[in-house]
Structure 1
Amino acid sequence: MDERVREHAELLVDWSARVEPGDDVVVSVAEDAHELGVAVAEALGERGATVTPLYGSAELSRAYLKGAEAADGEDGPEFDDDPAVDRAIFDAADVYLRIGGGRNTTATADVSSETRQAYAKARQAVREARMDTDWVSTVHPTRSLAQQAGMAYEEYREFVYDAVLRDWEALADEMARMKTVLDEGDEVRIVTERDGAPDTDVRMSIAGRTAVNSAASVAYDSHNLPSGEVFTAPYDTEGTAFFDVPMTIDATRVRDVRLVFEGGEVVDFAAGAGEDALASVLDTDPGARRLGELGIGMNRGIDRFTDSILFDEKMGDTVHLAVGRAYDACLPDGESGNDSAVHVDMITDVQRDSRLEVDGEVVQRNGVFRWEEGFEA
């Protein structure tokens, strides 16, 4: 076993999930993530935790959903909206670890959008129970992910470990600067230009919200490994946002997305490719047309786009907005943020002709933060 697999497992268990003796840990392992799953199980055993393994197979999920489609009635597939066994597993768990790395990144491409929406809505109680645990999501470098990224497998493996095996304490200290700016701010404005004219000019309120220093640990209210972003829950969004980084939504390639906001809601949208998939997301429920997240990427160990939101949204020189659910960690106690069955991130490259303002002051220009060398006010 590559020693970096063990390092990844130990980082996930100790730094990210903060597993303690006696914790009940649910571990979902994708088809080709077996090696990391084994290393994680070993680490959990050494720490005195209890392990419940799950098989996180996209191909199995496709088979189930296609079977439901084949048996559906006039109103489409129906799913139990309170699957008691699944919910009970997460209700009893202290920690949930998801290890991605399947055989086919588009395994569910031929499942209809209506079936996806129905299944997502039916699983909301399970999703809420899962998110009440100390959950962390990561991936094992696999050939399918390398292919999706357009990289040789060996090259992709180096990329993943450069992003994951970081000095997270040092990065947390740097990201704390951005968190302070957002916590003290009332309004964020993002402007990007193309061919001398703005293609993004969007404003959003962040007053009263708390930013998360997402340093790849539940101790920071952070649930992804790798991570490396600072995010908050905006509202009252106005303007136009353009997202030039390609992404995959529901196994469909989507690129060049434009969203127009009025009164905090998406009132118009377009995409250069995958517009039907985008429409399906926005039509999921009323909350799917409002923002749930503003995220600022700060992980310089991620140096290229790979069509994986786990990595792409954390990349330095990017900003992302997510339609759908807002995270409770960003909200005042007792306040409900935007609610939705979806949370879909869309990314803008801000390396050139861009600026990020907080209360009218430029905090980042052309990908360079004001505390970094080379910043131009």
Structure 2
Amino acid sequence: MNEGLGGRSARAHHHFFSGSYGQTFKFDIVLITLTMLLLGFGLIVLYSALGQSWSGLLNQAIRLCLGLGCLMLASQLRVSTYYRWAPTVYAGTIMLLFAVAVFGVSNKGSQRWLDLPGLPSFQPSEFLKISLPLIVGWYITTRNFKLKFFDYLALILIVGLPTGLVFLQPDYGTALILLIGVAAMLFLCGVRLRWFGAGLVLVAISAPIIWNFVFRDYHRRRIITLFNPERDPLGAGWNIIQSKTAVGSGGLSGKGLFEGTQSHLDFLPEGHTDFIIAVIGEELGFVWCVALLCCYLLIFSRLMYLSTTATNGFGYVVGTGITVIFFGYVLVNVAMVLGLLPVVGLPLPLVSYGGSSAITTMAAFGVALAVCTHKQDLEK
């Protein structure tokens, strides 16, 4: 037994109790360590961004503990459990998205939140970072990775329905990231490039229609302002200007923790959520921003390693989708803060304040660990 444990330690997979589902519970020490470092760093920065509010910090800490619990629980489940329940989880997410369209809570021009009796408000679109990779992986696996013409049409419907509902909320950033994640899954499964080319042609054809009839006025202003924020410095360009000012004023080493002026004097909007990295840049400087991005890159690399070494095809597809979607959130958020993309209202995973994003991200990590590291017959 000691030799077996030593072998597993060398592979960074540790077992600490026998699960009630008939298999040993695993976790990856590298991924868990990086995640814990990110969470700890995020809490320190949030304490400053929240104006040194202990109540806000405690609320976030409780959410993160819940997220870690979800990670551990998700890691314990069998691969076959995820395979069997993938359609049900997907259907449940679709129902929640329809509920948002009918009963959702509007905030700042978007209807993304659901407020159910007895539950804290949450954002159902966050569940798609789990349910969408699961359903795409399930469908591809049921076809033995041999997709025909009608299979592609089915996948377009499977992916297009939830993505379209998210797009109409409107939540363009999340919709874009989900599409990129699915595209990566299909590419790694050997889908021919001509299908991606057809998709790009479809996007190019539909772009004028989306611009004129789907985008709202303030979304068009955000895109136009992206190229010249000074055109509307007190309106659509305000967020980008203040964010760049915060990051630039921090220099290499920053002004010091709790010493940021843009955030603490309320020049920087949403400093504790969407623009948290601007607070980091101002108070801790360029060096800590790079360190943070390196941590994200290490998590991405570890998840990709686990996905590409998965013991089953289902795990390979699902793990890849979860990984790309996670890193997509990071890239889009950073690009938004730096003014490289329009402001789309996306949090920085595991660092920004909020429960829905943090909990679902850690649950997704648990799913990736389960489907990529457990040796299971999908039909069990």
Q: TM-score, normalised by structure 2?
A: 0.24
Structure with higher Rg: it is 2
Q: With a CA cutoff of 8 Å and minimum separation of 6, indicate the structure with the bigger relative contact order.
A: 2
Q: TM-score, normalised by structure 1?
A: 0.24
Q: Which protein has the bigger strand share?
A: 1
Q: Which protein has the bigger helix share?
A: 2
